[in-house]
């Protein structure tokens, strides 16, 4: 098991200004970081691969798609744009040395039709993701598709949605991620949800119900860690928290007030919480 920290608490892009943060995360004891890839310039990430190697930080990636590049769109040009952007993000992963890409890039984030997904929408999303998965295989990257709560997405909202979707895509490089924040909203039974995703589980986000410091809210942490241990999960436990550093992201994630003292405090206390919970379970 490895512990990571999502960089969206500080920035939506890699820059030299982040070097003190990265050095601090390494000194705290993090195994790696989760890098947001919204800028699809492959060469940039190749340069950062060496910097992160020198720091001793492994990495995963997170990305999203929007209305303009929705892989589920009925508009063929928009759908093609979504597929190509996902492929380009995979090229960036390969350049960065990141073997896994997480996120809700199966459909446009925050895009709604006013109803649940239709059979045609689902087929378009599945077909798009199968093509992306084929490219992921050539890059040596695993897709970890994230299901979101109903207020952010309408294609995949719960564990059963995500697993059935991945099974329909039917590609070894297409798997599922589990996020404690979304599960806290959508799942009636946390252990059952984790057992449901277990056969195709590739990644886990540790996120408190208010997006603040893990362990300070009302997520069902005992059930979550107990069940992850029970199924023998040994992948990443990556903290995803949001703050006010990025106004656009704060607006998108509905963060209107600070949920923690400082970013460093959240990272340090969150790491200690995960370690203590994992060690307590042997």
Please say if 34 is a catalytic residue. Answer: no
- The active-site residue, picked from 34, 121, 131, 146, is 146
Please say if 23 is a catalytic residue. Answer: no
- The active-site residue, picked from 34, 152, 208, 240, is 240
- Tell me the torsion sign for CA atoms 188, 216, 213, 232: negative
Residues marked as catalytic:
146, 240
């Amino acid at each position: 098991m490895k512990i990571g920290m999502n960089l969206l608490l500080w920035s939506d892009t890699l820059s030299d200004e982040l070097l003190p943060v990265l050095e601090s995360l390494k000194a705290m004891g993090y195994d790696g970081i989760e890098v947001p890839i919204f800028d699809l310039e492959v060469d940039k990430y190749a340069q950062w691969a060496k910097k992160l190697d020198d720091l001793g930080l492994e990495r995963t990636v997170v990305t999203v798609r929007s209305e303009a590049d929705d892989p589920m769109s009925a508009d063929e040009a928009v759908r093609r744009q979504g597929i190509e952007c996902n492929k380009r993000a995979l090229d960036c992963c390969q350049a960065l040395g990141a073997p896994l890409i997480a996120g809700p890039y199966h459909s446009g984030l925050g895009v709604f039709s006013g109803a649940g997904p239709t059979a045609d929408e689902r087929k378009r999303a599945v077909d798009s993701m199968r093509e992306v998965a084929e490219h992921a295989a050539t890059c040596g990257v695993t897709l970890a598709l994230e299901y979101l709560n109903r207020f952010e997405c309408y294609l995949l909202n719960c564990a059963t949605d995500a697993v059935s979707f991945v099974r329909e895509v039917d590609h070894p490089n297409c798997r599922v991620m589990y996020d404690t924040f979304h599960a806290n909203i959508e799942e009636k039974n946390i252990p059952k949800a984790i057992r449901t995703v277990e056969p195709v589980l590739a990644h886990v986000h540790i996120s408190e119900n208010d997006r603040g410091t893990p362990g300070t809210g009302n997520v069902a942490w005992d059930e979550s860690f107990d069940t992850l241990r029970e199924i023998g999960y040994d992948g990443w436990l990556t903290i995803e928290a949001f703050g006010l550093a990025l106004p656009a992201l704060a607006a998108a994630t509905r963060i209107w007030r600070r949920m923690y003292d400082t970013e460093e405090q959240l990272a340090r206390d969150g790491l200690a919480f995960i370690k203590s919970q994992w060690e307590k379970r042997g």
